[in-house]
């Protein structure tokens, strides 16, 4: 596995939020949307967040049409 340096534009206070979303993203078996709401303070730092929710996209049989649309 190749490890790339962390991007400088992502503040360390956001790492746990990103990790939490990433932890559920691999459970997906098709195209899906991961949704999470984040409570931030006046400095734009995360305080708390909701449990990530995965919504599968349909139809599952031909994901290429949505991929074409998004690219």
Q: Residue 3's pLDDT is what? A: 75
- pLDDT of residue 6 exceeding 90, the answer is no
Residues 6+ apart with CB under 8 A from 51: 36
Task: Compute the residue count for the chain.
Answer: 71
| Average pLDDT of span 47-56 | 94
- pLDDT of residue 61 exceeding 90, the answer is no
pTM (whole model) above 0.85: no
| Average pLDDT of span 25-42 | 88
* Dihedrals phi, psi of 54, to nearest 5 degrees: -105, 130
* Dihedrals phi, psi of 38, to nearest 5 degrees: -120, 125
Q: Residue 8's pLDDT is what? A: 84
């Amino acid at each position: 596995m190749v490890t790339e340096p962390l991007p400088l534009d992502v503040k360390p206070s956001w790492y746990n939020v990103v990790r939490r979303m990433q932890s559920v993203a691999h459970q997906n078996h098709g195209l899906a949307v991961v949704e999470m709401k984040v409570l931030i303070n006046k400095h734009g730092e995360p305080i708390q967040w909701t449990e990530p929710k995965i919504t599968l996209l349909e139809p599952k049989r031909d994901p290429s049409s949505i991929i074409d649309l998004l690219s």
